[in-house]
């Protein structure tokens, strides 16, 4: 039986366990039957609940009977142990259909333990940030640390490491390497196939990866976003099943017509939910083809606003029926990924439950995973391998690199789009004095330093819309290759920011001219902190406030938006260690 092609229900796992004899299996099933029929008290019952039935889209009053990690039934039950919910609303535990745990800045177990408290009991993780820095060692660490948590955590095998062939990242993952991981029970499918052109061109190395996972009957995630009808059809024919990159309703519905499951993204920087959901409501189309994901969301944002709970709340406020919103947050995702034991409150399903004080505003009262109440408990973390703690290797050319000499006024300019990770691109006149670019309120400098192999490569550009004044912001989180990226208007502050991140082996830093840097070290692969979520959230809050005081508008996240300016698979234009890359026309532009 292929992993996740047919998913067994929890009690099936007992019955089909070959180590148990037939008598044991019959006795266990008799126990289940007696409790389900009400002839015997169930081990645990949640009394007086108002339960959302995903299959009929109705709220049903009754008790929820549980045995071990399995739901026995919803109706009138007595239990050996009971908890009276006094009419509170109970919905299936939420599922994040696509996220990068690294982008939360915490190690996996820290983040998952916090998102659990917000009602998310299932995480479908793409660890391609870790893979781009540390290869399979990074992937293994993510799996090992996440396995410490009381949650359903599945992983998609990173498909594009590097994201495109010319990128300067820390590792290469090919189909042959994937074979050693494909039977790992944590691996659910193939992660977002962001090198779309390789799929459309039927490039051999990409076809090998797709064929490997297709033969195993696994889900393969997409990264299409705005593909035309024929391109979208070709992409789907390659076996792609999902896409989280749609930013408009028109793009989303066009892909949904091809049978693509649309993962509506609402993260810290990329906020696509309102545009897509408004179209769903206006056109009154069924919600079956849509799920929710966060993709990249900071811990400070999760603690303040929620996790998938925020997606649900916002969708309801925009006019989605609450029942549909909860279905999008659970059953739709479970069905798409073949997780047939998850996503509903019905007999035989795993007892992952979110108990709500108010279902319209998604006010969480309590959360159950596998029938056990989730608490704010300290999670045992996996050991961090030494080779994941020293990953910033820059051949730094010196402070003179920030002197941007120009021979003409008109230059290629990267435009930051508020609330999006997309960019615009123009050639515009900028201020040049004594042969050097002079930043101002509109235009700032941006640099990317290759940080994996000490090559000394530095890409430089001019950016508009970040609006930083009197300082710099820098990060070793620079999707997806995670080179060191810095933006600012002051050479001294930019120099200080780069030195700061080299010294602390990676992280985020904000430098206001004339002041000491505010820094959050991300010592694990230059992506994650080993510190507590409280410390990271507090530091991040202070750093964002300082960045805002330097002019960065509230519609732009200083760090997440910055990190995506380095990702060459997203239009229109990006900055890499090789210079400015035009993703729409597959060409390069140089500052001159």
Which pLDDT score is estimated for 482? Answer: 96
- The rounded distance, in Å, linking the Cα atoms of 11 and 30 is 12
The alpha-carbon radius of gyration of the chain (Å, integer) is 25
CA distance 146 to 166: 31
Cα dist from 131 to 10, 389, 400, whole Å: 32, 14, 33
Average pLDDT value for the chain:
93
As a three-state string, the secondary structure of 80-100 is: EEEEECCCCEEEECEEEEEEC
Q: Where are the beta strands (DSSP E) in 441-495?
A: 443-449, 458-464, 471-475, 484-488
The answer to whether 414 and 423 are in contact (CB under 8 A) is yes
**Statement: residue 13 has pLDDT above 90:** no
Angle 84-89-94 from CA coordinates, rounded to 5°? 115
Q: Which domains does the chain have, with CATH numbers?
A: 100-321 (3.20.20.140), 389-589 (no CATH)
Q: What is the pLDDT at residue 20?
A: 61
Q: What is the pTM of this model?
A: 0.89
pLDDT digits (tens, 9 = 90+) for 15-72: 444 456 767 778 878 888 888 899 999 999 999 999 999 999 999 999 999 999 999 9
Which band of pLDDT confidence, cut at 50, 70 and 90, is reported for residue 570?
confident
The answer to whether 316 and 360 have CB atoms below 8 angstroms apart is: yes
Contacts of 317 (CB under 8 A, 6+ apart): none
**Pairing mode, if any, of strands 219-222 and 242-243?**
parallel
pLDDT digits (tens, 9 = 90+) for 176-189: 999 988 889 899 99
Rounded-to-integer distance, Cα 360 and Cα 347, Å: 26
- Kind and range of the H or E element at 368? strand 363-369
Whole-angstrom distance, CA of residue 130 vs CA of residue 125: 11
The model's pLDDT over 226-269, given as tens digits with 9 standing for 90+, comes to 899 999 999 999 999 999 999 999 999 999 999 999 999 999 87
Checking if the pLDDT of 368 tops 50, the result is: yes
Check pLDDT > 70 for residue 9.
no
% of the chain surpassing 90 pLDDT: 82
Question: Look-up: residue for tokens 């029926």?
Answer: 321
CA atoms within 13 A on the CB side of 31: 15
The confidence score (pLDDT) of residue 256 equals: 96
For residue 205, how many other CB atoms are within 10 A of its CB? 11
pLDDT in tens, 444-501: 999 999 999 999 999 999 999 999 999 999 999 999 899 999 999 999 999 999 999 9
What strands, in cross-sheet order, belong to the sheet with 587-589? Answer: 573-576, 579-582, 587-589
CA-based torsion, 510, 512, 513, 516: positive or negative: negative
- List the structure tokens of 33: 């039957």
**Is pLDDT at 2 greater than 50 in this prediction?**
no
CB 462 within 8 A of CB 489: no
């Amino acid at each position: 039986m292929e992993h996740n092609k047919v998913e067994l229900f929890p009690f099936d796992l007992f019955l089909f366990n070959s180590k148990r004899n037939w008598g044991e299996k019959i006795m266990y099933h008799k126990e289940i039957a007696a409790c389900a029929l009400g002839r015997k008290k169930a081990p645990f019952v949640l009394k007086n609940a108002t339960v959302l039935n995903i299959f009929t889209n109705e709220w049903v009053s009754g008790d929820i009977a549980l045995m071990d990690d399995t739901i026995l039934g919803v109706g009138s039950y007595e239990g050996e142990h009971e908890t009276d919910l006094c009419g509170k609303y109970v919905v299936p535990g939420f599922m994040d259909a696509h996220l990068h745990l690294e982008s939360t800045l915490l190690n996996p177990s820290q983040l998952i333990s916090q998102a659990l408290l917000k009602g998310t009991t299932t995480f479908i993780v793409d660890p391609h940030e870790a893979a781009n820095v540390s290869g399979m060692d990074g992937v293994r660490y993510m799996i090992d640390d996440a396995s410490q948590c009381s949650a359903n955590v599945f992983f998609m095998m990173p498909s594009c490491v590097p994201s495109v062939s010319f990128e300067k990242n820390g590792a290469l993952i090919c189909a042959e390497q994937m074979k050693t991981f494909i039977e790992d029970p944590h691996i659910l499918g193939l992660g977002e196939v962001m090198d779309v052109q390789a799929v459309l061109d039927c490039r051999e190395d990409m076809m090998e990866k797709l064929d490997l996972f297709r033969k195993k009957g696994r889900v393969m995630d997409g990264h299409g976003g705005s593909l035309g009808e024929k391109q979208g059809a070709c992409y789907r024919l390659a076996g792609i099943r999902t896409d989280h990159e749609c930013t408009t309703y028109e793009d989303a519905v066009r892909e949904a017509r091809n049978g693509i499951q649309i993962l509506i993204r609402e993260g810290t920087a990329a906020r696509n939910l309102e545009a897509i959901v408004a179209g769903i409501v206006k056109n009154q189309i069924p919600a079956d083809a849509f799920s929710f994901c966060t993709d990249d969301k900071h811990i400070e944002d999760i603690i303040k606003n929620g996790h998938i709970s925020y997606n649900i709340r916002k969708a309801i406020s925009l006019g989605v029926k609450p029942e549909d919103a909860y279905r999008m947050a659970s059953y739709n995702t479970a069905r798409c990924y073949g997780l047939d034991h998850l996503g509903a409150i019905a007999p035989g399903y795993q007892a992952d439950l979110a108990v709500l004080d108010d279902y319209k505003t998604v006010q969480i009262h309590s959360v159950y995973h596998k029938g056990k109440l989730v608490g704010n408990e300290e999670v045992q973390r996996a050991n961090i391998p030494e080779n994941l703690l020293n990953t910033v290797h820059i051949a730094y050319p010196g402070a003179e690199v920030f002197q941007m000499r120009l021979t003409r006024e008109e230059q290629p300019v990267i435009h930051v789009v508020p609330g999006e990770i997309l960019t615009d691109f123009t050639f515009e006149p900028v201020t040049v004095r004594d042969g050097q670019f002079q930043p101002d309120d509109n235009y700032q400098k941006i640099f990317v330093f290759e940080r994996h192999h000490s090559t000394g490569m530095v890409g430089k550009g001019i950016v508009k819309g970040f609006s930083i004044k009197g300082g710099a912001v820098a990060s070793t989180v620079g999707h997806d290759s995670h080179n060191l990226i810095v933006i600012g208007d002051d050479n001294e502050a930019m120099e200080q920011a780069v030195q700061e991140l080299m010294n602390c082996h990676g992280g985020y830093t904000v430098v206001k001219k004339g002041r000491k840097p505010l820094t959050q070290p991300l010592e694990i692969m230059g992506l994650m902190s080993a510190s507590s979520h409280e410390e990271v959230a507090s530091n991040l809050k202070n750093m964002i406030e300082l960045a805002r005081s330097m002019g960065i508008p509230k519609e732009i996240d200083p760090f997440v938006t910055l990190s995506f300016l380095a990702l060459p698979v997203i239009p229109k234009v990006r900055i890499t260690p090789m210079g400015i890359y035009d993703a729409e026309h597959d060409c390069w532009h140089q500052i001159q």
